[in-house]
């Protein structure tokens, strides 16, 4: 009987030992069943852009940005570029001093983006070597290259034009969705409206006294002259309350951009003139050259605003329609009071 008890005792101990070893060797939860993995799956979203809908999960960390406009929006949303394409091809391998190399936006860049060249012809070789998480550009720039870009990384092409009106508020929310930064977009929109209201209040005396503004787009050779009411600064001035000079009525949704002869300009009544200078081969502030030639041309000096010395020369990259993002608007809205308020003392 005693021997039988000892046999049962050892058998029971053996069973308990096996159970203990089995428990210790139980597999850990697989990644798919972990809370982190569940959150990653839940964070996936489908983002519609100009060509199709693309699935994105999490916040893309290595983002290739293929235009100044997209860069402006990306930076405003709190993201940074891993690679960037400017309006022209610059002879640098990477933007190692972005504050000096990228106009107006570079001082907000904390990375050293790979230089992808011209926004219309970004380097596919460099993009392939970079292996970005996401490529973002404008539809009109690289639509014909979309299939090639999409083979390198998820690619999204956006447009900020809606009903004939071009403004970053038309595409910031979908870009924010692609970047996983929807809350940032709400903040940027709210800050913009507050900045616009502040400028409206500050410039109300100028609007009351000198309401008519003529906006021109002129190349530095002075061979291309256009009345550019529909420009970044034009939209802001109109939002502040100014009247934009245009020689003919325009139906809703039609662009207020008109190539014109210089001889017509003196016939247009204007209290203030803003001349947006541009040059296809010059990235940095071409308006200095334009201003010098302008003052040597009699017909331009006969514009009413020019005769009253209420004329300003600015850079197309910021004031025209190149960057046209939240940061651009902030910079212009901060500049306009300093530019226009002194006119009251001379009027």
For the chain, the maximum distance between any two Cα atoms, rounded to a whole number of angstroms, is 127
Q: Where are the alpha helices (DSSP H) in the chain?
A: 2-24, 35-42, 68-76, 98-101, 124-130, 139-142, 146-152, 172-179, 182-202, 204-209, 232-240, 287-294, 298-301, 304-307, 316-319, 326-340
Query: Whose CA is closest to 143, among 124, 156, 153, 132?
Result: 156
Query: Whose CA is closest to 93, among 119, 68, 71, 113?
Result: 113
Count CB atoms within 10 A of the CB of residue 11: 10
Q: Which residues pair with 65 in a beta bridge?
A: 84, 136
Contact 87, 140 (CB under 8 A): no
Kindly give the confidence (pLDDT) of every residue in the chain, 347 residues in length, as a single tens digit, with 9 standing for 90 and above.
444 444 444 444 444 444 443 444 433 333 433 343 344 456 889 898 888 888 888 899 999 999 999 999 999 999 999 999 999 888 899 999 999 999 999 999 999 999 999 999 999 999 999 999 999 999 999 999 999 999 999 999 999 998 878 899 999 999 999 999 999 999 999 999 999 999 999 999 999 999 999 999 999 889 999 999 999 999 999 999 999 999 988 887 788 999 999 999 999 999 999 999 998 777 777 888 898 889 888 999 999 999 999 999 999 999 998 999 999 999 999 999 999 999 998 76
Cα dist from 36 to 41, 171, 177, 181, whole Å = 9, 30, 20, 19
Contact 132, 62 (CB under 8 A): yes
The rounded distance, in Å, linking the Cα atoms of 19 and 58 is 41
Q: Tokens 């891993």, residue?
A: 82
Domains in the chain: ranges and CATH: 43-180 (3.40.50.1980), 204-345 (3.40.50.1980)
Cα dist from 107 to 96, 97, 153, whole Å = 12, 9, 27
Q: Tokens 């970005």, residue?
A: 132
Name the CA radius of gyration of the chain, rounded.
29
Contact 173, 45 (CB under 8 A): no
Q: Which residues pair with 313 in a beta bridge?
A: 275
State how far Cα 90 lies from the chain centre.
20
The rounded distance, in Å, linking the Cα atoms of 114 and 129 is 10
The rounded distance, in Å, linking the Cα atoms of 81 and 75 is 8
Residue 94 per-residue DSSP state? B
End-to-end CA, the chain: 121
């Amino acid at each position: 009987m005693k021997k039988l008890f000892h046999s049962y005792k050892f058998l029971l101990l053996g069973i308990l030992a096996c159970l203990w070893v089995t428990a210790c060797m139980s597999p850990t939860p697989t990644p798919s069943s972990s809370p982190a993995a569940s959150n990653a799956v839940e964070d996936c979203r489908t983002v519609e852009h100009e060509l199709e809908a693309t699935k994105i999960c999490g916040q893309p960390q290595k983002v290739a940005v293929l235009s100044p406009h997209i860069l402006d929006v990306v930076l405003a949303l709190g993201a940074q570029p891993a690679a960037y394409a400017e309006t022209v091809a610059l002879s640098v391998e990477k933007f190692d001093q972005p504050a000096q190399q990228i106009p107006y936006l570079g001082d907000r860049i904390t990375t050293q983006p790979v230089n992808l060249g011209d926004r219309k012809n970004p380097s596919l070789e460099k993009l392939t070597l970079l292996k970005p998480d996401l490529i973002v550009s404008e539809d009109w720039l690289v639509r014909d290259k979309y299939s090639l870009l999409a083979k390198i990384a998820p690619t999204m092409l956006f447009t900020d034009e809606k009903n004939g009106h071009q403004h970053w508020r038309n595409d910031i929310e979908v870009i924010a969705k692609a970047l996983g930064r929807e809350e940032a977009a709400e903040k940027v929109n709210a800050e913009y409206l507050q900045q616009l209201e502040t400028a409206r209040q500050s410039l109300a005396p100028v609007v009351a006294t000198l309401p008519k503004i003529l906006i021109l787009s002129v190349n530095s050779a002075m061979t291309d002259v256009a009345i550019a009411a529909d420009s970044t600064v034009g939209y802001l001035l109109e939002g502040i309350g100014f009247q934009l000079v245009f020689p003919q009525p325009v139906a809703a949704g039609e662009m207020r951009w008109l190539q014109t002869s210089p001889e017509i300009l003196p016939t247009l009544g204007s209290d203030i003139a803003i001349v947006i200078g541009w040059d296809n081969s010059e990235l940095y502030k071409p308006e200095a050259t334009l201003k010098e030639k302008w003052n040597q041309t009699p017909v331009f000096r006969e514009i009413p605003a020019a005769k009253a010395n209420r004329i300003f020369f600015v850079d197309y990259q910021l004031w025209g329609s190149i960057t046209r993002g939240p940061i651009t608007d902030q910079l212009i809205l901060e500049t306009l009071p300093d530019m226009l308020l002194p006119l009251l003392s001379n009027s």
